[in-house]
Amino acid sequence: MYRDGFRELEVGRRLWLIVIVKVAIIVTLALTLFPNYLNEAYDTDADRAAHVLDALTPAATEVAP
Amino acid sequence: MTAIDPEVVDWSRAQFALTAMYHWIFVPLTLGLSFVLAIMETLYVKTGDERWKEITRFWMKLFAVNFAVGVATGIILEFEFGTNWSNYSWMVGDIFGAPLAIEGIFAFFIEATFFAVMFFGWSRVSKRFHLVSTWMVAIGSNLSALWILVANGWMQHPVGMAFNPDTARNEMVDFWEVLLNPNAVTKFLHTVSSGYVLAGLFVVGVSAWFLLKRKNTLLAKRSILVAGSFGLLASVYLVVLGDASAYVVAQDQPAKLAAMEGVYRGAERQGIVVFGLLDPDKEIGDGQAPFLFDIEAPYMLSLMGFHDVNAFVAGIDDLVYGNPERGIEGAASKIAKGKRAVAALAAYKEAKEAGDAEAAAAARAELAALERYLGYGYLEAPEDIIPPVPLTFYSFHIMVSLGFWFIALFLVILFLLMTGRDLGRYKLWLRLALFSIPLGYVAQEAGWIVAEVGRQPWAIQDMLPVGVATSDLDAASVTVTFWLFAVLFTALLVAEVRIMLAQIKKPAASGEEGAHV
Q: What is the ipTM of this complex?
A: 0.81
Residue B121 to residues A5, A9, B42, B136, B140, Cα–Cα distance (Å): 8, 12, 16, 14, 18
**Cα–Cα distance measured from residue B2 to residue B41, given in angstroms and rounded to the nearest whole number:** 59
pLDDT digits (tens, 9 = 90+) for A9-26: 556 677 778 788 888 888
pLDDT tens figures, B328-352: 999 999 999 999 999 999 999 999 9
Q: What mean pLDDT comes out for the span B393-401?
A: 96
Distance from CA of A34 to the nearest CA of B (A): 5
Query: Do A1 and A22 sit in the same domain of this protein?
Result: yes
* B499, containing H or E segment: helix B475-505
**A29 and A4 share one domain:** yes
A40 in the same domain as A29: no
Q: Does one domain contain both A39 and A19?
A: no
Do A1 and A29 lie in one domain? The reply is: yes
Tell me what pLDDT residue A63 has.
Answer: 44
User: Is 80 exceeded by the pLDDT of residue B46?
Assistant: yes
State the pLDDT at residue B197: 98
Could you read off the pLDDT of B148-201 as tens digits, one per residue? 899 999 999 999 999 999 999 999 999 999 999 999 999 999 999 999 999 999
Given a contact cutoff of 8 angstroms between Cβ atoms, the answer to whether B434 and B205 are in contact is: yes
User: Partners of B170 in the beta sheet?
Assistant: B163
Q: Are B439 and B405 in contact (CB under 8 A)?
A: yes
- Cα dist from A63 to A49, B5, B290, B468, whole Å: 19, 10, 31, 7
Residue partners of B361: CB distance under 8 A and separation at least 6: none
Rounded CA-CA distance B182/B248 in Å is 7
Is residue B179 classed as helix, strand or coil in its secondary structure? helix
- Which pLDDT value is given to residue B516? 43
Residues contacting residue B136 through CB under 8 Å, at least 6 positions apart:
B110, B113, B114
Beta strands B169-172 and B161-164, pairing class: antiparallel
The residue-averaged pLDDT of B388-398 equals 97
β-bridge mates for residue B470, sequence order? none
As a whole number, mean pLDDT of residues B385-394 equals 97
CA angle B33, B39, B43 (to 5 degrees): 140
Mean pLDDT, residues B441-459 taken together: 95
Q: Please state the φ and ψ torsions of residue B280, each to the nearest 5 degrees.
A: -65, -20
Residues of chain A in Cβ contact (below 8 Å) with chain B: 1-2, 4-6, 8, 10-12, 14-16, 18-19, 22-23, 25-27, 29-30, 33-39, 45, 48-49, 52-58, 60, 62-65
HEC string for B261-316? HCCCCCEECCCEEEEEEECCCCCCCCCCCCEEEEEEECCHHHHHHHCCCCCEECCH
Q: Tell me if B479 sits within 8 A of B5, measured CB to CB.
A: no
Closest approach of A65 to chain B, Cα-based (Å): 5
Same domain, A22 and A42: no
Give the chain A residue nearest B504 (alpha carbons): A11
| Amino acid B506: pLDDT | 79
Residue B301 and residue B308: Cα distance in Å, rounded? 9
Q: Are B56 and B226 in contact (CB under 8 A)?
A: no
Give the β-pairing of B272-278 and B291-297: antiparallel
Query: Does the structure show a pLDDT above 60 at A65?
Result: no
Q: Tens of pLDDT along B59-115?
A: 998 998 888 888 777 888 888 888 999 999 999 988 887 777 777 777 667 777 888
Q: Which of B346, B221, B322 is nearest to B266 (CA)?
A: B322
Q: How far apart are CA B442 and CA B421, in angstroms?
A: 31
Q: Which of residues 104-143 of B touch A (CB under 8 A)?
A: 116-117, 119-121, 124
pLDDT number for residue A8? 57
- B403 to each of B201, B400, B406, how far by Cα in Å? 11, 5, 5
Residue numbers of the domain that contains A60: 35-65
Cβ contact B488–A18 (<8 Å): no
pTM: 0.91
Distance CA B330, CA B254 (A): 12
Q: How many CA atoms lie within 13 A of B354 on its CB side?
A: 12
- Per-residue pLDDT, B1: 40
Segment (H or E) for B172: strand B169-172
pLDDT tens for each residue of B488-501: 889 888 888 888 88
A50 exposure class (CB count in 10 Å sphere: 0-12, 13-18, 19+): middle
Q: Are B193 and B236 in contact (CB under 8 A)?
A: no
Interface of B with A in 302-361 (CB under 8 A): 339, 342, 345-346, 349
Q: What value does the mean pLDDT of chain B take?
A: 91
Per-residue model confidence (pLDDT) at position B227: 97
Q: Chain A within 8 Å of B428 (Cβ-Cβ)?
A: no
pLDDT classification of B2: cutoffs 50, 70, 90: very low
Distance of alpha carbon B18 from its chain centroid, rounded?
14
Whether A39 and A28 map to the same domain: the answer is: no
- pLDDT for residue B385: 96
Q: Nearest Cα to B503, choosing from B90, B63, B26?
A: B63
Contact A2 B116 (CB under 8 A): yes
Q: Is the pLDDT of residue B512 over 60?
A: no
**B356-383 pLDDT, tens per residue?**
999 999 999 999 999 999 999 999 999 9
Q: How many structural domains compose chain A? A: 2
- Identity of the residue in A4, A19, A34 whose CB atom sits nearest the CB atom of B83: A34
Mutate to test the interface with B, among A14, A16, A22 (most CBs of B within 10 A): A22
Are A27 and A55 in the same domain?
no
pLDDT digits over B275-291, tens only?
999 999 999 999 899 99
Count of CB atoms situated within 10 Å of the CB of B273: 22
CB < 8 Å to B69, chain A: 15, 18-19, 22
CA dist B462 and B485 (Å) reads 31
Q: Is the domain of A8 the same as that of A29?
A: yes
Whether residue B517 is predicted with pLDDT greater than 60 in this model: the reply is no
How much of chain B, in percent, has pLDDT values that exceed 70? 96
Per residue, what are the HEC states of B136-161? HHHHHHHHHHHHHHHHHHHHHCCCCE
Residues A42 and A63 grouped into a single domain? yes
Cβ-contact B228, B256 below 8 angstroms: no
Q: Are residues A30 and A5 in the same domain?
A: yes
User: Are residues A26 and A52 both part of a single domain?
Assistant: no
Q: Quick check: A29 and B488 CB within 8 A?
A: yes
pLDDT score for B69: 80
